[in-house]
Amino acid sequence: MSDAVITEKTIVIRGRKVVGGVAEGEALVTRDRISGWGGIDPRTGTVIETRHELRGQSFAGKVLVFPGAKGSSGWSAMFHMTRLMNSAPAAFLFNEMTTKMALGAVVTHSPSMTDFERDPLECIATGDWVRVDADRGVIEITKKNNASGDRS
């Protein structure tokens, strides 16, 4: 299958595992890359970068959907601190694999995926419920506008 599968309630996208595991949660989506050093507060998981569209929002416990990392190699250290302070994302979904992104995913221990058959930035909106099964390479998206509100 080369495209996402759409059922009445769920969109399914396949991709490649970076860090294994299964997690689910509310999506937090940005088309902006995220800076680690000086761009996030690791105590709260809040984006603090001045001109970032997510400034003031926390990714703690959420499925973070974004293009990838920007900035220095301090990126992975800042995201490692989010894990130590219990403010890490539940999972990472990102389009551009770099060494800092890979290391950040590994030290955060959050299930992470990349190399998708369809761009998750086109399919997932902030507030959607997302289940990431990185071991199987599958993302299941339940749109937030689901009329029944049922997320099972």
Question: What is the Cα–Cα distance from 65 to 59, expressed in whole angstroms?
Answer: 10
User: Which of 2, 35, 72, 112 is an active site residue?
Assistant: 72
Sequence letter at residue 74: G
Residue 72 is a catalytic residue: yes
Q: Report residue 2: phi and psi, to 5°.
A: -105, 0
Which sign does the torsion angle of CA 11, 13, 17, 19 carry?
A: negative
Question: What is the Cα–Cα distance from 142 to 67, expressed in whole angstroms?
Answer: 21
Per the CB < 8 A criterion, the answer to whether 67 and 32 are in contact is yes
Give me the torsion for CA of 10, 131, 79, 57, rounded to 10°.
50
Strand bridging mode 46-47 / 129-133: unpaired
What positions carry a catalytic annotation? 72
